[in-house]
Amino acid sequence: MIQLSDIEQDALGESFNLALGQAAAVFADLVNEEIQLSVPTVEILEREALVKRLEELTGTKAAQDLCCIAQHYVAGKAFDTDTLLLFPEHGSLEIVRRMLGRTEIHLDQITELEQDALAEIGNIIINSCMSGLANILGTEVIGTLPGVQTIKPANLLDDHPKNEVILVAKIGMTMLTHDVTGYVLFIMDVPSLTAFMSSVRSFFGIPD
């Protein structure tokens, strides 16, 4: 498996941190509340390790669903990736409550309006990440419209080949009365990730 050096992890973390700064400002307007995003931590995980991490995110309850907001991106000939924004269900519902000014929303009662709200949240955060990465790569990045679903951690990657690798950025989101931890996943094949990391090293002047 491809390994990131400490300097590569720091470079990616700083890239996401800069990109997400703008997302936090837009997001704060949506929920009418000040938002602080932690500096992302970045790593590459194998499938089994990712599932374990996500089950920890949902409170070690393997049966609890994640809210998954997904988009597919193509960056010219450089790489393509499925990009997923993940929150535990209680975190995503809290965000929607803030955004829509509603106090009681349950997962099985999410309406089309609330689905649209979650899609907009994902669109803001994921597009900010991808715009920052596009600046590093010096290429245009084209994405699909976001899709929203609830899914169990163990089933998240059922539709992806087992040889794909997962670049994971963990973000912490702090609101006035609630803290939410989420993950941004970039699911790529090995050639895409290799090309992506080569561009990152070139941008930051990191020797191969």
Nearest alpha carbon to residue 25 among 96, 125, 145? 125
Bridge partners (DSSP) of residue 69 are: 85, 148
Q: Which residue reads 């702090």 in tokens?
A: 174
In order along its 208 residues, the chain shows pLDDT tens digits of 678 888 988 888 887 777 777 777 777 777 777 777 777 888 888 888 888 888 876 664 545 788 899 999 998 777 888 999 888 877 777 777 777 666 565 555 556 777 788 888 888 888 888 887 787 778 888 999 999 888 888 888 888 888 788 888 888 777 766 777 778 888 888 888 888 888 888 888 988 7
The residues spanned by each domain of the chain are 6-204
Fold designation for 6-204: Chemotaxis protein chec (3.40.1550)
Tokens standing for 173? 């989101």
Tokens standing for 197? 């990391």
Residue 107 makes CB contacts below 8 A (sequence gap 6+) with: 65, 89, 93, 150
Its pTM stands at 0.82
